Copies of this chain bind each other. A is one copy, B any other.
Amino acid sequence: MSARVPVTPIDAAEITAYDHETDVLVIGYGCAGASAALEADAAGADVVLLERQSGGGGSSALSGGEMYLGGGTPIQEACGFTDTAEEMEKFLLAALGPDADQEKVGLYSRESVAHYQWLVDHGVPFKPSLWDSPTWVPPTDDGLMWMGENAYPFYEIAEPAPRGHRVTSDGFGGKVLMAVLSEAVTKTEIGVHTDTTALRLIMEDGRVVGVVARHFNETVTYRARRGVVITTGGFADNKEMLAQHAPQLVGLGVNSDGGDDGRGIVMAQAVGAAVKHMSAGQVGISLVPGMMVRGMIVNSVGQRFINEDVYPGLVGQAALFKHNLKVWVILDEQAYEEVPVDERWGVQPHFVAETLEELEREIDMPEGALQNTVGEYNRFAEHGEDPYFHKSARWLRPLQSPFAAIDVQRGMAPPEYGDGGTGGGGAEVFTIGGLRTTVDGRVLDLDDDAIPGLFAAGRATSGLHSWGYISGTSLGDGTFFGRRAGVAASRE
């Protein structure tokens, strides 16, 4: 951070007069910030919301718009699924592990139906219809989707039910979510200060009492009588922080609004905050899950490594962390044709060949590599079996000539995917680790004590997750724990 504005906190004694005063100051206007502000306002606090960009939305507005919700929501019930908080909790602990946050996952699961209702009460639309195939985001406006609950090994761990609640939208739903929450904010007395970047915390006797910020070229000071809530997002846009904490994410495309520079995390660390799981990341890889599930995904020497019907985010993590993104989708003509046109996102194979031998040569694999893998796959697929990775029989069928290959590293994400579709290096990532917080959003120090006056939520924190990631858990825990942080801050 050298040669930049230091993050070390300012002593309140150095501030002669504050430019602004409020009860609760929320930094960052994504889904966590909006939720915190709305709940602090509802609890009777004066609230100011700072946003570095010229308008609200943050990275949340660029997201797919899935919310991981369950335990028997009206959407699940309308689609004919029963679910319980216990099964949801079991799934999340397995999918977000190892060592996901048990307390957060438990509370989040138990209060999921109530949280769904809060979202709906604020105007968030969900449609009671199921998209029944692995995908990043349904190409339709379907409101419910599987997040791999029905794939191996998860169906053995928890009773499967689809829990991906997708905000109703043409294309990505994050912008709809943020439009709705922003609309709710405008109906309150919450002050929204855009183009305002928080730089340092202000401390008084070990308590966070405000923030020094920059508004264009001007330094502005804020006093927060009750609390500061950091909802500034992760650090995927900060190459130096990535290299220090998550080196495998360096150099890839980033799924963000460009402002995920980790400043909020570091500002809090500078007043003693602890962090965790800083190496973890979500990895969105450039492929069409509908093609992958009907064919296979292999590494650079033609080996399969996962059941292709699992949630594609888990495939992405395996592809990056275990195979350095050198992965290929192998499929046949029938598989390609079976994918509905609007689900193809315009993607076409990079290589086509009549024989696997020819395809091996084209994509520079050892002679025999694909022939062996596809041979083994086909031998069992004929009987609807996959003893290697346990893909569901629904997606198993011997692959036949002509064959095709998609090079995931080329990056072929459609424009809706975050940074405009370049999918730098074949993947777009964001960070999952961050500040250690209680379920009420209190930021903990290295002794596990809450730092007075400091709260946080969203991707600036380590939320439900440890290493694993399922989409819907960022908007999900951002709004859920954002709300709780807003309430807690308003009561200080």
By a beta-carbon cutoff of 8 Å, the part of chain A in contact with chain B is 1-2, 4, 6-8, 97-99, 243-248, 250, 266, 269-270, 272, 274-279, 301, 303, 321-323, 366-369, 372, 376, 379-380, 387-389, 436, 445-449, 466-467
Number of copies of this protein chain within its complex? 2
Check if A278 sits within 8 Å of B245, measured CB to CB. yes
Q: Which residue of B lies closest to A449 (CB)?
A: B2
- Count chain B CB atoms within 10 A of each CB in A275, A376, A449 and give the residue with the most: A376
Identify whether the interface residues of A are mostly helix, strand, loop, or mixed: loop
Residues of B within 8 A of A387 (CB): 366-367
Question: Can you report 16 A-B residue pairs in the complex whose CB atoms are below 8 A from each other?
Answer: A1-B448, A2-B447, A2-B448, A6-B447, A7-B446, A99-B247, A245-B278, A245-B279, A246-B279, A269-B274, A269-B446, A270-B446, A270-B447, A278-B279, A321-B322, A368-B376
Q: Which residue of B lies closest to A386 (CB)?
A: B366
Q: Which residue of B lies closest to A385 (CB)?
A: B366
Residues of B within 8 A of A274 (CB): 244, 269
Alpha-carbon distance A466/B323, docked complex (angstroms): 18
Given A8-B446, A269-B446: 4 more A-B contacts, CB < 8 Å: A6-B447, A97-B247, A247-B466, A269-B274
Alpha-carbon distance A303/B7, docked complex (angstroms): 48
Known A-B contacts A2-B449, A250-B99; the reply to A276 vs B244 at CB < 8 A is yes
Check if B448 sits within 8 Å of A244, measured CB to CB. no
Residues of B within 8 A of A243 (CB): 99, 276, 466
Q: Which 5 A-B pairs have the closest CB atoms?
A: A279-B279, A244-B276, A366-B387, A2-B448, A322-B322
Q: Which residue of B lies closest to A365 (CB)?
A: B387
Residues of B within 8 A of A8 (CB): 272, 445-447
Residues of B within 8 A of A467 (CB): 247-248
Residues of B within 8 A of A247 (CB): 97-99, 277, 466-467
Contact pick for A244, options B277, B301, B366, B449, CB 8 Å? B277
Q: Which residue of B lies closest to A244 (CB)?
A: B276
Alpha-carbon distance A302/B270, docked complex (angstroms): 48
Residues of B within 8 A of A388 (CB): 301, 366, 369
Q: Which residue of B lies closest to A240 (CB)?
A: B448
Contact pick for A368, options B246, B266, B379, B436, CB 8 Å? B379
Residues of B within 8 A of A1 (CB): 446-448
Known A-B contacts A99-B250, A244-B436, A368-B376; the reply to A266 vs B446 at CB < 8 A is yes
Query: Chain B nearest CB: distance from A367 CB in Å?
Result: 7
Residues of B within 8 A of A2 (CB): 447-449
Query: Chain B nearest CB: distance from A369 CB in Å?
Result: 7
Residues of B within 8 A of A369 (CB): 376, 388
Query: Chain B nearest CB: distance from A370 CB in Å?
Result: 12
Residues of B within 8 A of A376 (CB): 368-369, 372
Alpha-carbon distance A445/B7, docked complex (angstroms): 10
Alpha-carbon distance A272/B269, docked complex (angstroms): 8
Residues of B within 8 A of A245 (CB): 276-279
Q: Which residue of B lies closest to A379 (CB)?
A: B368
Alpha-carbon distance A187/B80, docked complex (angstroms): 80
